[in-house]
């Protein structure tokens, strides 16, 4: 044997179980993959090493593929689900496609030295396989969901062989029959329906191969097959009528008539299906669908080169074993591996040098086409990358130019808007007629406040009275409430006709709410006293305004005192002065004037 250890999947099925028995008979070390919590007592009794794992779970395959010398180990993948029904079977698809891809990927990652895959001859493109041209797999050109799943998995493996130099081979048998299968196997269901229900058969045919021939071919391909080789194992072809004649002859049962041809035509599919659905009878086209899928497919075997002395069992011999000796126990064939190796070497030596170049013909046309496209793209990649880089640079430059133009346009629009705003302001307000902006009225600047009620005549009278006073009534800062702002009253300068407009313009920049009454009073004074000879009166008036503004600031802002009360307050302040310093209009009591009688 060529390998130190053999790793077998699907060992609970007849094909895998026969492979294990043959390898153990040759004295090989065998490890089998079984589903968790399944009954594998039969395999354990053979002497095989058991590894639990799920083919749909990559992590569970790590222990199964963990070997001391992976380069000298081989994987034989036989696990599959077979269904001849045309209905979609998701379990079959997961196992046959996803499961196969998982075991292929994990075997490559573990650096397994050899991989053998159990495929199906019906996964081949019939046009190419039957014409003898290069083998290829196309799931869209096969009949039945089972064939489609096997075609997809086979194409995936061929890609790994071509692009990753994976040392793998494929065995493509026709429909497998023989002893050892359970009652749920499709062929056993067909035989049971025919023998018990006596339903009509259908036209068509199929090529059948014995399960023992399949197991023998798998071991031979593993030992002597070429990397990338896809070996067809064709059995004996039988039409449906010939097949069931053999069944009747073996069992002694009566023959069953075939359905009329017109009821099997595609145009009558809906009518026939509706009839059997209403009558609740078995539809013959569903029971015998196997014979209607690829009815003319009769391939030529290519495995004879590594199985020189083996003969494919006849359908009659296989049916005898199935119908007369039921059960799961089946003895494998004895394989002469030395003769097989000698035959394989002879085949290789007989091939001309040009045949080695044609090994790629075993790869599907789809894979070859993708390889050629990849090579063409690789040659053009340098120039294409350069063109893409230049195009990207030009695009970035255009975008940057647009951004700069947009920024410049925005700046110009903003400058034009500012200039237009300035022109509009100049046109609306002439320079000589600029008046100070009226501040928002506050509690201190309301029209009914103290300063608003004072008339010009009253202010002049108070100013004249103030001339006679020697000293100004002191107003202490401590008496001003803390929440009231400190008021700084600007001094009234000598009126100058030329500078009047400039002073008014300066006041329009940021008018203070508290100083606005003073400015208003100043304008009224300027209208009443425009003469320069009365500068002294204006200075006295400024002092009086300071006192009046301070008193207004110390008053309650929410309840401004009326004008009369302010005059009384002034009189109360003057009452503290001597009699000869009081104002002429002040009232002096008789007691104050003459004094009291006390000495």
Tell whether 385 and 249 lie within a shared domain.
no
Return the bridge partners of 9, or none. 33, 77
Tell whether 327 and 392 lie within a shared domain.
no
Distance CA(82)–CA(89), nearest Å, equals 10
Question: Pick from 363, 387, 412: which residue ends a domain?
Answer: 363
Distance CA(417)–CA(410), nearest Å, equals 11
Asked if residue 442 belongs to a domain, the reply is no
What is the number of structural domains in the chain?
3
CB 310 within 8 A of CB 233: no
Distance CA(3)–CA(536), nearest Å, equals 130
Tell whether 402 and 455 lie within a shared domain.
no
Asked if residue 551 belongs to a domain, the reply is yes
Q: In which domain, by residue range, is 421 found?
A: 369-428
User: Left, alpha or beta for 295 (phi > 0: left; psi -120 to 50: alpha)?
Assistant: alpha
Look up the CATH number of the domain holding residue 306: 3.40.50.720
Asked if residue 444 belongs to a domain, the reply is no
Tell whether 477 and 407 lie within a shared domain.
no
Tell whether 229 and 376 lie within a shared domain.
no
- Residue 73: per-residue pLDDT: 96
B/e letters for 179-196, b = 16+ CB within 10 Å, e = fewer, are bbbeeebbbeebbebbee
Tell whether 17 and 58 lie within a shared domain.
yes
Distance CA(65)–CA(9), nearest Å, equals 11
Distance CA(259)–CA(203), nearest Å, equals 8
Asked if residue 334 belongs to a domain, the reply is yes
Tell whether 353 and 457 lie within a shared domain.
no
- Residue 97: per-residue pLDDT: 95
Nearest residue to 313 via CA among 245, 400, 213: 213
Question: Pick from 363, 381, 415: which residue ends a domain?
Answer: 363
CB 102 within 8 A of CB 118: no
- Residue 340: per-residue pLDDT: 65
Mapped to the 3 state alphabet, what secondary structure does 129-143 carry?
A: HHHCCCCCECHHHCC
- Residue 291: per-residue pLDDT: 86
Cα-based distances in Å from 374 to 155, 215, 370: 18, 38, 6
Question: Pick from 326, 341, 363: which residue ends a domain?
Answer: 363
Pairing status of strand 168-173 against strand 230-233 = parallel
Tell whether 408 and 333 lie within a shared domain.
no
Tell whether 163 and 276 lie within a shared domain.
yes
CB 44 within 8 A of CB 247: no
Give the angle subtended at the CA of 268 by the CAs of 266 and 269, to the nearest 5°: 65
Tell whether 341 and 463 lie within a shared domain.
no
Distance CA(163)–CA(371), nearest Å, equals 8
Cα-based distances in Å from 442 to 59, 439, 549, 566: 83, 9, 15, 20
List of residues 6+ apart from 91 with CB closer than 8 A = 81
Asked if residue 435 belongs to a domain, the reply is no
Tell whether 383 and 530 lie within a shared domain.
no
Distance CA(360)–CA(135), nearest Å, equals 10
Asked if residue 440 belongs to a domain, the reply is no
- Residue 457: per-residue pLDDT: 58
Asked if residue 253 belongs to a domain, the reply is yes
Tell whether 387 and 355 lie within a shared domain.
no
Which pLDDT tens digits describe the chain residue by residue (599 residues)? 789 999 999 998 999 999 999 999 989 999 999 998 887 777 878 889 999 999 999 999 999 999 999 999 999 999 999 888 777 789 999 999 999 999 999 999 999 999 999 999 989 887 765 555 567 888 888 888 899 999 999 999 999 998 899 999 999 999 999 988 888 888 888 988 888 877 888 888 889 999 999 999 999 999 988 899 899 998 899 999 899 999 998 888 888 888 888 888 888 888 888 998 899 888 888 888 888 877 777 788 888 777 766 678 899 999 988 888 766 567 777 766 666 666 666 666 665 544 443 444 444 455 555 556 666 666 666 677 778 788 888 888 888 888 888 888 888 888 898 888 888 888 876 545 555 555 555 544 444 444 444 455 566 667 677 776 655 544 444 444 444 444 444 444 444 444 444 444 444 444 444 444 444 445 554 554 445 545 455 555 555 545 554 555 555 454 444 444 444 444 455 555 555 555 454 455 555 545 555 54
Distance CA(95)–CA(93), nearest Å, equals 6
Asked if residue 437 belongs to a domain, the reply is no
Q: What is the DSSP string of 139-208?
A: GGGSSSHHHHHHHHHHHHHHHHHHHH---EEEEEESEEE-TT--TTSHHHHHHHHHHHT---B-S-EEEE
């Amino acid at each position: 044997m060529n390998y130190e250890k053999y790793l077998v999947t699907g060992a609970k099925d007849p094909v895998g179980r026969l492979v294990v028995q043959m390898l153990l008979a040759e004295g090989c070390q065998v490890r089998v993959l079984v589903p968790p919590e399944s009954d594998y007592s039969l395999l354990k009794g053979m002497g095989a090493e058991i590894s639990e794992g799920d083919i749909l779970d990559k992590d569970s395959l790590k222990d199964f593929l963990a070997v001391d010398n992976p380069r000298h180990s081989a994987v034989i993948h036989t696990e599959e689900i077979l269904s001849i029904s045309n209905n979609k079977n998701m379990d079959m698809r997961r196992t046959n496609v996803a499961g196969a891809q998982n075991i292929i990927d994990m075997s490559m990652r573990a650096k397994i030295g050899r991989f053998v895959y159990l495929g199906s001859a019906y996964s081949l493109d019939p046009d190419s396989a039957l014409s003898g041209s290069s083998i290829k797999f196309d799931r869209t050109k096969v009949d039945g969901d089972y064939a489609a799943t096997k075609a997809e998995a086979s194409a995936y493996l061929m890609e790994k062989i071509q692009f990753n130099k994976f040392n793998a081979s494929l065995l493509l048998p026709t429909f497998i029959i023989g002893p050892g299968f359970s009652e749920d196997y499709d062929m056993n269901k067909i035989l049971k329906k025919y023998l018990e229900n006596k339903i009509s058969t259908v036209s068509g045919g199929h090529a059948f191969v014995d399960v023992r021939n399949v197991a023998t071919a798998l071991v031979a391909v593993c030992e002597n097959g070429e990397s990338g080789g896809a070996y067809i194992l064709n059995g004996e072809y039988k039409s449906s009528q010939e097949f069931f004649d053999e069944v009747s002859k073996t069992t002694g049962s009566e023959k069953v008539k075939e359905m009329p041809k017109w009821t099997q035509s595609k145009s009558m599919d809906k009518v026939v299906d509706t009839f059997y659905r209403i009558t609740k009878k078995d539809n013959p086209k569903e029971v015998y669908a196997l014979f209607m899928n690829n009815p003319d497919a009769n391939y030529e075997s290519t495995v004879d080169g590594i199985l020189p002395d083996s003969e494919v069992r006849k359908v009659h011999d296989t049916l005898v074993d199935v119908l007369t000796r039921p059960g799961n126990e089946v003895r494998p064939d004895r394989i002469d591996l030395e003769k097989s190796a000698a035959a394989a070497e002879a085949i290789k030596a007989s091939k001309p040098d040009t045949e080695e170049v044609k090994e790629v013909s075993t790869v599907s046309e789809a894979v070859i086409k993708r390889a050629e496209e990849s090579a063409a793209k690789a040659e053009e990649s340098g120039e294409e990358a350069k063109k893409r880089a230049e195009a990207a640079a030009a695009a970035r430059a255009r975008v940057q130019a647009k951004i700069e133009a947009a920024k410049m346009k925005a700046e110009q629009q903003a400058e034009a808007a500012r200039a237009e705003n300035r022109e509009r302001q100049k046109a609306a307000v002439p320079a000589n007629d600029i008046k100070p902006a009226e501040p928002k009225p506050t509690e201190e600047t309301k029209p009914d406040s103290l300063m608003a009620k004072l008339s010009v005549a009253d202010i002049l009278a108070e100013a004249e009275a103030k001339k006679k006073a020697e000293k100004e009534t002191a107003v202490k800062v401590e008496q001003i409430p803390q929440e009231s702002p400190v008021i700084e009253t600007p001094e009234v300068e000598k009126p100058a006709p030329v500078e009047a407009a400039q002073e008014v313009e300066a006041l329009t920049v940021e008018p203070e709410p508290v100083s606005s009454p003073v400015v208003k009073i100043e304008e009224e004074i300027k209208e009443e006293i425009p003469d320069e000879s009365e500068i002294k009166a204006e200075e006295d008036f400024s002092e009086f305004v300071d006192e009046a503004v301070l008193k207004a600031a110390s008053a309650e802002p929410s309840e401004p005192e009326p004008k009369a009360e302010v005059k009384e307050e002034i009189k109360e302040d003057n009452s503290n002065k001597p009699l000869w310093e009081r104002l002429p209009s002040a009232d002096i009591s008789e007691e104050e004037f003459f004094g009291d009688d006390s000495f």
